[in-house]
Structure formats: structure tokens, C-alpha cells
Amino acid sequence: MTPLLEVKGLKKHFPITKGAVIPRKVGAVKAVDGVSFQLEQGKTLGLVGESGCGKSTTGRTILKLIEPTEGQILFKGQDITSLKGNKLRRLRKDMQLIFQDPFASLNPRMTVEQIIAEPMKVFGINKAARRKKIDQLLDVVGLSGYHKNRYPHEFSGGQRQRVGIARALALDPDLIICDEPVSALDVSIQAQVINLMEDLQKEFGLTYLFIAHDLGVVHHISDQIAVMYLGEIVEYGHYHELYEHPKHPYTQALLSAIPEANPHLQKERIVLKGDVPSPAHPPAGCKFHTRCPLAQERCRLEKPIMKTVSPTGQQAACHFVKEVGHGDRFVVPK
């Protein structure tokens, strides 16, 4: 079976220019630097990492909201990397985005009905069909018909996120890229929205690329998880295996840093020193070596490649993990 989405060696470098009149390129911010993964229909891939690691840029590049610098994006087996104009627009119908901030992503001058109708209008769905669909969608996301004529400011954060989800569903997409969809919400509301997203996935067979920094939420919703650091995936695997047996030192540190809601737990914490280096000047060799507690001379010089580290297909890019079998790209275990 071809995966719904396949990304091969995706790169996005933003140029740094100098000079106002004749700008010349003096460097590049390597926001995404060689990301590869596969995502099967109906599954969820969680993308985690700290701010600035390139997870949002990855999401946006896949949607082609940002033009990739290098690499290939295959959607339903079709190479969409160089698609433009009408063809791209038709394809966008099948890929939607849910944003982090439900305050900024809804137009304050439009009613909920107009907001949800807009994508359908763009694709020329007639008024009667739109009306019917809007009622359906509001019902699916747990809002009532009388909410239709209200404006975004009349809603709470959780309700606004529901409107955002309804809009994303308006065109019956296959893939939804969720960019931190619950991080702006309170815990009790967050749980409601996560439950809703899970229900929708079951009902409509949706595929999610779930981008978030909250490791608990990602664990809960994902089938597979990819951990990103400075534009690269450093570890990838089954959600629970990755959390129980993290192989990459970065994943280990990240997981040990989560404060857990259990006062009896005395965790052995790996506190990383310093901050994430700037993606404009990423360290040579292994990008994590500046903060890695295990770093050796080799890490400064040689860049580790992704290798399979467990029989179930968990992969990590570190010189110090033992390889099982071999393979340099992701294989999603069945």
C-alpha cells in the first residue's frame, strides 16, 4: 500500500540577506534540514521538539504554503513538490490545517457560518449544499445551530478551536496538519478537543500530522512519533516504545524533563545545559553535540545517520546506539 504522505529529504532553508538595495545572500536559516517520513492513511504521526526545531515549518512546507528548498513530497503517491496553480489548488482540498491560536486564525469580522463556508465557496460548492454541510459540521464538532450567526469573539477558546476544526473538515480532507491545536487551551478543554479529534479520525478515517511540544498529548494521540532537533528528525518510533525506551540522548533528556503529575515519583532528570543553537549556524557533526551529555570527539566531526535500533522499526540518529539490521530511512511497522 502506498502511504498517504511520504516526505523524502525535505529541506527548507530561509536565506539571510544583507543590503537593502541589492540584497545578497550571506547565509541561510536551515529550518528544515533533511526530513523523511511516511504516514499511512488513518494514522497519526506526532512531531515533537522544542520551539525553533522546524516542526511547524515542516508542516507548512508539506502543504506547500512554503516552497521547499529541496526534497520530495509525495501525496497519495503523486509527487506534489513542483505542483503549481490550479493543480495545486485542487490538491489542497485534500489537505487542511488546524492552527494553534484559535484567536488569530478566525477572521473576527466573519460569522461562524461564513468562516466554515469559505473553503466550500472557494471550491464552488453551491449554497444549499453548503448550508446542509455547515449544519452537519457544527453538529459533528459539538456546536449548536444557533452558533452559526455568532462572531468568534463570542466564543471561548475551546469553542473557537471547534470552529477551526469544522472549517478544516468542510472539504472532507484526507490529511489534516494540526499545528499545536491544543496548546493554547486549558487542560479541561484540551481533553475535550483531543477526544473530539480522536472521534473525528475514527468517523472520517482522517490522517493527522500532529505537531506539538506537549509530550503527554503527543503520546496520547499518535501512532508513531518523530522527535525533531534543529531541523532534523533524531528519533522515530512507535509511540510507546519511543517513550519507554528512548534511544537518542535528546529524546531521553526531553522525556526526563516532563514534570509528571505524581508527587511520589522521584525522576532521574537529565537537565540539558544551555539553549538550542541557532539554526543559522548549526553545529557541525551531530547537531546535538553542544548539549549532549554523551558527546565525544567523533560527534563533533561526523554526522550520525539514522539507523534502525529495534526490531519494531524504531530509529535513531546517534553514534552511540546499537544498530539492529540496517536501513537508512523510515519504515513504518505494520
Partner 1 sequence: MGENFLLQVRDLHTQFVTQSGVVKAVDGVNFEVKPGETLGIVGESGSGKSMTALSIMKLVPSPPGEIVKGEILYNGDDLIKKTEKQMRHIRGNKISMIFQDPMTSLNPVFTVGEQLTETLRTHRNVSKRQALEHATELLNLVGIPDPKARLKNYPHEFSGGMRQRVMIAMALACDPELLIADEPTTALDVTVQAQILELLKKLQKELGMAIIMITHDLGVVAEICDRVMVMYAGKQVEFTDRFRLFDVPKHPYTWGLLNSIPKMEKEKKRLKAISGHPPDLRHLRKGCPFAERCPKAKASCRIQAPHLQEVEPGHLVSCLLYEEEKVTLE
Q: Closest Cα to residue 103, out of 192, 51, 167, 164?
A: 164
Under the binding rule (CB under 8 A), the answer on residue 258 touching partner 1 is yes
Under the binding rule (CB under 8 A), the answer on residue 144 touching partner 1 is no
The residue (of 125 and 189) whose beta carbon lies closer to partner 1 is 189
Under the binding rule (CB under 8 A), the answer on residue 139 touching partner 1 is no
Interface positions, 214-253, toward partner 1 (CB under 8 A): 215-217, 219-220, 240, 243-244, 253
Q: Which residues on neighbouring strands pair with residue 184, listed in sequence order?
A: none
Kindly tell me which residue out of 132, 269, 281, 300 binds partner 1, with binding defined by CB under 8 A: 269
Among 33-41, 75-83, 165-173, 255-263, which window interacts with partner 1 (CB under 8 A)? 255-263
DSSP 217-231: HHHHH-SEEEEEETT
Kindly tell me which residue out of 19, 85, 259, 311 binds partner 1, with binding defined by CB under 8 A: 259
C-alpha 235/C-alpha 320 separation (Å) is 13
Check the CA dihedral 243-234-49-213 and report its sign: negative
The residue (of 158 and 285) whose beta carbon lies closer to partner 1 is 158
Q: How many residues bind partner 1 (CB under 8 A)?
A: 42
Nearest distance, CB of residue 176 and partner 1, angstroms: 19
Under the binding rule (CB under 8 A), the answer on residue 156 touching partner 1 is yes
Nearest distance, CB of residue 261 and partner 1, angstroms: 4
3-class DSSP assignment, residue 13? strand
Under the binding rule (CB under 8 A), the answer on residue 70 touching partner 1 is no
Cell of 171: 472539504
Q: Which residues on neighbouring strands pair with residue 15, listed in sequence order?
A: 28
Is the CB of residue 248 less than 8 Å from the CB of residue 316?
A: yes
Under the binding rule (CB under 8 A), the answer on residue 20 touching partner 1 is no
Helix (H) or strand (E) holding 187: helix 187-204
The residue (of 108 and 259) whose beta carbon lies closer to partner 1 is 259
Burial environment of residue 53 by CB neighbours within 10 A (0 to 12, 13 to 18, 19 or more): buried
C-alpha 150/C-alpha 148 separation (Å) is 6
User: What's the per-residue H, E or C state across 73-98?
Assistant: EEECCEECCCCCHHHHHHHHCCEEEE
Cell of 245: 525506551
Under the binding rule (CB under 8 A), the answer on residue 263 touching partner 1 is yes
Under the binding rule (CB under 8 A), the answer on residue 194 touching partner 1 is yes
Interface positions, 31-50, toward partner 1 (CB under 8 A): 50
Q: Closest Cα to residue 41, out of 94, 120, 97?
A: 94
3-class DSSP assignment, residue 308? strand
Kindly tell me which residue out of 19, 51, 84, 311 binds partner 1, with binding defined by CB under 8 A: 51
Kindly tell me which residue out of 22, 271, 297, 326 binds partner 1, with binding defined by CB under 8 A: 271
Kindly tell me which residue out of 79, 139, 154, 186 binds partner 1, with binding defined by CB under 8 A: 186
Q: In the block, which residue shows the cell 528544515?
A: 32
Q: How is residue 241 annotated by DSSP?
A: H
Longest dimension (CA), the chain: 67
Under the binding rule (CB under 8 A), the answer on residue 261 touching partner 1 is yes
| Mask for 274-303, x = binds partner 1 (CB under 8 A) | -xx---------------------------
Q: Where does this chain bind partner 1 (CB under 8 A)? A: 50-51, 156-159, 186-192, 194-195, 198, 213, 215-217, 219-220, 240, 243-244, 253-254, 256-265, 269, 271-272, 275-276
